[in-house]
Every structure is written in structure tokens, then in C-alpha cells.
């Protein structure tokens, strides 16, 4: 079966829905999402969205903070356009009905309370208490629901991009849609489109411990990689310093804003350690804080450290952090009277599919926006709360560009072959998938985590040689299921991260290798990899 649209949007987070709402003013849109809307990282964002809002702030200051965090790899022209367009995009979100937290004497929804986070020199974080993503996604999902030109296909997972060159279709190489697997019926169909947006989010699930939801398996990066699109800077994985440490607390983040409002990191004996590592102490950028925690844990053999807010007023904590307090209490921890046990966890994928300032990838007809993309905004480390902003700005810009191209150069898609299952059969051995899923996530955590070494990277690559070969065999022997599709993508992304980390012979931003621990500006350049058509493994461009 084939369905045709002007715009195909793969992913229903902040980037995908921002694109969809803009594109729908000019044509038909299909949003495909592998779970139910609004599942995805956007929904769980706590701290907020960073943008210049106060008269005391400036675009230059926001750009300087972004570039300082990015450790020399941000693309200044991209940083400049994002910080400048940010306020307009955020205002648009308020017009769409987002209710940010307001100042006590506010007279309108624009008079917002601005939060502070690590690495920011100014209060510029618009937030909805400590559940900003939930509120922004509520407004976006409602707007999409009101728009008759947007179709939403839930529980459909994009399996592969339809790339004319790969399928021997007529015309110059371009992307003209994707194969979609219906997660429930396990049938594969064709979604044909003049323009396709990857908005599939990040790849936190590659790691054993992550703040990310289950959908973050790096599918967009893997699909683009298989289509020959360059992937950049995947060694820069951001580990959030403070995820709740409790055997039953899966993926729960304790927001950076808790440190912004005075939270202190301590050892189990209550002693503070951050001032030893950085003058900015708890408000240092997160790579510094995460590495300091990792070092304290390894040095002293701690299972976790603590985030202490017991000196803060209980009423203030209740009012400012209701979600975090409620979650902690569910696990028997009262942050007003006892420190919160925390550990670092994989949080954000700074690298991704290479795009230009309009979200275009080098493959005609294919765009990428949000966490899946490498726009040049984050460099070697993302500044807190710049990600929701990036999703808003590039979702919008990519839609404008796709509209321009759909009107002019991008022709309707050609005839596309139906999915060919070959001789594949139904698998009755789920263990083949779960075993490799666990193995990849554990090896990435142990060998390619917060601190890396040449030996660990080499070991990781050796294991991936075997795992990739086994997955490739299973993939063609068995009919696709959502689990198999995700496993194949997870393995591809792990391989790209390992290759990127092995390629960079210095330490910078989020990438720290004990065998080359210093920054070396001979490496002040993006790591760009593509798929070698023969070996099908990543190689530097």
C-alpha cells in the first residue's frame, strides 16, 4: 500500500510538530510516530527553553555562553541565527497557548519568570514549573489536532528512507519518503512525499543508563547513515550529572535548575566537592559536573553522590519543583529534609545528521531538525535548555525551506517498489534481540562512556564487529518487528559513536580520552563520517 503527502514528518516531538504546523499552511502533512503522541524526550523536558527575554540580557551574551560550552566547535553563524530567532519562536509558542510560569505581578502571559541554569551568565530560561516539555507539547499536540491538513500515524515506525539512487529509481538522487512498519499489524507500507523530515530525536538508549525515554534509539541517524548521508560529531554524548539513583526510578532526571536555585552536590558524608573541580562549582557546564561526579564515584567507590536542597525553604521547593518532589517522594525520599541520591546518565546526542542552516541534508528532499540533526549549534557540548530552542527554530526553518522547494524544484515522487520481504520468516526467538540489546548498552556504558581510553574503544569496536554481523543476518532472515528495527539502528549508532570517538585524537567538550587528555586545536574541526559502501561501516569523510 502507498500513501502520498507533500510533507512526511518522522517523529512527533517539538521539532517534528513545529515543522508540521508550519508546512501544513502550504500542503498535506503526515506525522509518523512510533509510539503514541506525545511520547519522546520533548515531553519530559524539565528545566525549560533558553532565549533572550530580559532587557538585561543580549544575543551576544547568549551566543557567548553557547560557544563557551561548545568548546570551540560551535558554528558561530548558526549560533547567531538561533539566538536571534529564538524569542520569536518562543513568542509563537505562547500564542499557541503555552503557559510558562509567570512573575508574581505578571499582567500577561509574556511576563515570564526566568530561571538560571549551569553555563548561562543570565536568567533566560522560560519554564513551566519543572515540567516545561509537558506544557509545550500540550500546546503543540492541541494545535496539530485542530489542523485538518495534518494526518498523524501513531504506532508506525519508519524502517528506512526511500532513496531513489539505492532503489534504482529514475531521476537524480533524492529522498522521496520512507517505508513504515505498522507496529501492531507488522505490515510494511510506503509513505511517499516530496519532502521528508527526520525529527526522530536522540540516541540515549544506546547507553545502559539514560534520562531518555525508550523511543530514543537513534533511528534517524541510522536511517540517514544507511542512505549515505554524512553524520557528524557523534562522539559528543552529553551525560546529565543528576538522574535520580533508585533501583525503581527508570530514567528520572533531577533538573539542572535545582542547582540553579541553590542545590549543592555532596559526598555521602555531606562534604561538598564541586569547588575543587571548577570555580563555578555546581553551576559549571554539565560535562565538568558529570566528570567530577564520575571521578568522585570511581575514586571513593561510591554508588552515587547526593544533591542537597535541604537548606532551601520547603514552600519554595514545593512551588518550584512539584514534579521532582512528587517523584522523589514516590521512592520514599523527601528532598526538603534529606539529600537526593543522584548519578550521571546519557542525556543528549550533540552530533547527528549533517544539515545546513535551513535543515537541509546533502540528500535532496531530506531534512533533519531537533536532536537528530547536527546543525553546528552545540559544538562539543550543548548548553542547558538550548535544545528545545533548536527544535523550535529548525523545525520552523526546515519547513519554510521545504515549502520553497516543494513549490519549485522538488517533483512528485516516482513509482516506488513495495517492501520486499525476500525469504524472511517470523522469528520465534525474542532472546536473540534482548541479549544483543543489553550487550550493546552495557558495552557502550563501560567502554564509550563519560571517560574513554584507546584500549576501551578498541575493545568496543571488536565486540561491535561480531554484533553487527549477527544483527545483519537476523535482519534479513526475519520479518521486521519494531524491536528488530530498533536493535539494528541502535547497533549502527553505537558503531558510529565508537568510530567518531576513536577518530578524535584529543579531549574536548564532552569527549574525554585518558590517552589524549588535552585539547589540541589541530582537531578543532567536526568529525564527519559516512558509510563505506563496501564494508558498510563508518569512515571519515
Binding site for ligand FAD (CB under 6 A): 10-16, 32-35, 39-42, 44-49, 132-133, 157-158, 199-202, 211-212, 215-216, 219, 253, 348, 370-372, 385-388, 391
Selection from ligand FAD, ligand SIN, none that 233 binds (CB < 5 to 8 A by kind) is none
CB of residue 122 to ligand SIN, shortest distance in Å? 16
When the beta carbons of 218 and 365 are compared against ligand FAD, the nearer one is 218
Q: Which range binds ligand SIN by CB under 6 A, 287-295, 322-330, 383-391, 429-437? A: 383-391
Instruction: Report yes or no: 511 and 380 within 8 Å, Cβ to Cβ.
Output: yes
Distance CA 331, CA 21 (A): 39
Selection from ligand SIN, ligand FAD, none that 39 binds (CB < 5 to 8 A by kind) is ligand FAD
CB of residue 13 to ligand SIN, shortest distance in Å? 13
Selection from ligand FAD, ligand SIN, none that 399 binds (CB < 5 to 8 A by kind) is none
* CA count, 13 A, side-chain hemisphere, 50: 28
Select from 384, 493, 496, 516 the one that contacts ligand SIN (CB under 6 A): 384
Instruction: Report yes or no: 355 and 375 within 8 Å, Cβ to Cβ.
Output: yes
Say how many residues make up the chain: 541
Grid cell in block for residue 234: 557523534
> What is the four-CA torsion angle of 295, 296, 299, 300, rounded to 10 degrees?
-160
Q: Is 179 helix (H, G, I), strand (E, B) or coil?
A: strand
- Identify the helix (H) or strand (E) that includes residue 222: helix 219-226
Select from 16, 38, 40, 47 the one that contacts ligand SIN (CB under 6 A): 47
For 110-140, give the secondary structure using H, E and C. CCECEECCCCCCCCCEECCCCCHHHHHHHHH
Select from 12, 255, 375, 492 the one that contacts ligand SIN (CB under 6 A): 255
Check binding of 387 to ligand SIN (CB under 6 A): yes
When the beta carbons of 152 and 328 are compared against ligand SIN, the nearer one is 328
CA separation, residue 103 to residues 107, 286, 311 (Å): 9, 27, 23
Check binding of 282 to ligand SIN (CB under 6 A): no
CB of residue 515 to ligand FAD, shortest distance in Å? 30
Selection from ligand SIN, ligand FAD, none that 400 binds (CB < 5 to 8 A by kind) is none
Grid cell in block for residue 227: 542512505
Cα–Cα nearest to 358, from 291, 313, 403:
403
Grid cell in block for residue 245: 539513583
What burial class does residue 226 get, using C-beta atoms within 10 Å of its C-beta: 0-12 exposed, 13-18 middle, 19+ buried? middle
Check binding of 41 to ligand SIN (CB under 6 A): no
Select from 39, 163, 256, 294 the one that contacts ligand SIN (CB under 6 A): 256
Evaluate the omega torsion of the peptide bond into residue 505 and state whether it is cis, within 30 degrees of 0: no
**Applying CB under 6 A, what is the total number of residues that bind ligand SIN?**
8
Selection from ligand SIN, ligand FAD, none that 201 binds (CB < 5 to 8 A by kind) is ligand FAD
When the beta carbons of 157 and 499 are compared against ligand FAD, the nearer one is 157
What burial class does residue 498 get, using C-beta atoms within 10 Å of its C-beta: 0-12 exposed, 13-18 middle, 19+ buried? buried
Selection from ligand SIN, ligand FAD, none that 35 binds (CB < 5 to 8 A by kind) is ligand FAD
CB of residue 17 to ligand SIN, shortest distance in Å? 19
Selection from ligand SIN, ligand FAD, none that 13 binds (CB < 5 to 8 A by kind) is ligand FAD
DSSP for 407-474, written as a single string: HTT-PPP---PPP--TT-B----THHHHHHHHHHHHHHHHHSSSSB-HHHHHHHHHHHHHHHHHHHHH
Select from 33, 42, 46, 502 the one that contacts ligand SIN (CB under 6 A): 46
List the catalytic residues.
Answer: 286
Enumerate binding residues for ligand SIN (CB under 6 A).
46-47, 255-257, 384-385, 387
Amino acid at each position: 500500500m502507498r500513501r502520498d503527502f507533500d510533507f512526511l514528518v518522522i517523529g512527533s516531538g517539538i521539532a517534528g510538530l513545529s515543522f508540521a504546523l508550519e508546512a501544513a499552511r502550504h500542503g498535506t502533512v503526515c506525522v509518523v510516530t512510533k509510539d503514541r503522541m506525545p511520547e519522546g524526550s520533548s515531553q519530559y523536558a524539565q528545566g525549560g527553553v533558553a532565549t533572550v527575554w530580559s532587557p538585561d540580557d543580549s544575543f551576544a551574551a547568549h551566543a557567548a555562553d553557547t560557544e563557551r560550552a561548545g568548546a570551540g566547535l560551535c558554528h558561530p553563524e548558526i549560533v547567531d541565527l538561533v539566538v536571534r530567532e529564538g524569542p520569536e519562536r518562543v513568542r509563537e509558542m505562547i500564542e499557541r497557548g503555552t503557559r510558562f510560569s509567570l512573575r508574581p505581578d505578571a499582567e500577561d502571559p509574556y511576563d515570564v519568570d526566568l530561571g538560571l541554569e549551569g553555563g548561562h551568565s543570565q536568567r533566560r530560561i522560560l519554564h513551566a514549573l519543572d515540567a516545561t516539555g509537558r506544557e509545550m507539547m500540550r500546546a503543540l499536540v492541541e494545535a496539530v489536532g485542530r489542523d485538518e491538513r495534518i494526518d498523524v500515524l501513531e504506532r508506525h515506525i519508519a524502517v528506512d528512507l526511500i532513496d531513489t539512487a539505492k532503489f534504482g529509481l529514475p531521476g537524480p538522487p533524492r529522498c522521496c519518503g520512507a517505508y513504515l512498519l505498522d507496529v501492531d499489524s507488522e505490515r510494511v507500507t510506503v509513505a511517499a512525499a516530496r519532502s521528508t523530515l527526520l525529527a526522530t530525536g536522540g540516541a540515549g538508549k544506546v547507553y545502559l543508563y539514560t534520562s531518555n525515554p525508550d523511543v530514543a534509539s537513534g533511528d534517524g541517524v541510522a536511517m540517514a547513515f544507511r542512505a549515505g548521508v554524512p553524520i557528524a560529531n557523534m562522539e559528543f554524548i552529553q551525560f546529565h550529572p543528576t538522574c535520580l539513583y533508585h533501583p525503581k526510578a527508570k530514567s528520572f532526571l533531577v533538573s539542572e535548575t535545582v542547582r540553579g536555585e541553590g542545590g549543592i552536590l555532596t559526598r555521602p558524608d555531606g562534604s561538598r566537592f564541586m569547588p575543587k573541580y571548577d570555580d563555578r562549582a555546581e553551576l559549571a557546564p554539565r560535562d565538568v559536573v558529570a566528570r567530577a561526579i564520575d571521578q568522585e564515584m570511581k575514586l571513593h567507590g561510591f554508588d552515587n553522590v547526593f544533591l542537597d536542597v535541604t537548606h532551601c525553604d520547603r514552600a519554595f521547593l514545593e512551588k518550584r519543583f512539584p514534579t521532582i518532589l512528587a517523584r522523589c517522594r514516590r521512592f520514599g525520599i523527601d528532598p526538603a529534609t534529606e539529600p537526593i541520591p543522584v548519578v550521571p546518565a546519557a542525556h543528549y546526542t550533540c552530533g547527528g545528521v549533517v544539515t545546513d542552516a535551513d535543515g537541509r541534508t546533502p540528500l535532496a528532499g531530506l531534512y533533519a531538525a531537533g536532536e537528530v540533526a547536527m546543525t553546528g549549534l552545540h559544538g562539543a557540548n550543548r548548553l542547558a535548555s538550548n535544545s528545545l530552542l533548536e527544535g523550535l527554530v529548525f523545525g520552523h526553518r526546515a519547513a519554510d525551506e521545504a515549502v520553497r522547494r516543494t513549490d519549485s524544484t522538488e517533483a512528485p515522487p516516482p513509482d516506488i517498489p513495495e517492501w520486499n520481504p525476500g525469504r524472511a520468516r517470523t522469528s520465534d526467538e525474542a532472546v536473540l534481540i534482548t541479549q544483543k540489546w543489553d550487550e550493546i548498552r552495557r558495552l557502550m556504558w563501560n567502554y564509550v562512556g563519560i571517560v574513554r581510553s584507546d584500549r576501551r574503544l578498541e575493545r568496543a569496536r571488536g565486540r561491535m564487529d561480531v554484533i553487527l554481523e549477527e544483527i545483519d543476518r537476523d535482519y534479513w532472515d526475519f520479518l521486521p518487528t519494531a524491536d528488530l528495527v530498533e536493535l539494528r539502528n541502535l547497533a549502527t549508532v553505537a558503531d558510529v559513536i565508537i568510530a567518531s570517538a576513536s577518530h578524535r585524537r584529543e579531549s574536548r567538550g564532552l569527549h574525554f580520552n585518558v590517552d589524549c587528555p588535552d585539547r589540541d586545536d589541530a582537531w578543532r574541526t567536526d568529525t564527519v563520517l559516512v558509510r563505506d559502501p563496501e564494508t558498510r561501516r563508518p569512515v571519515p569523510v
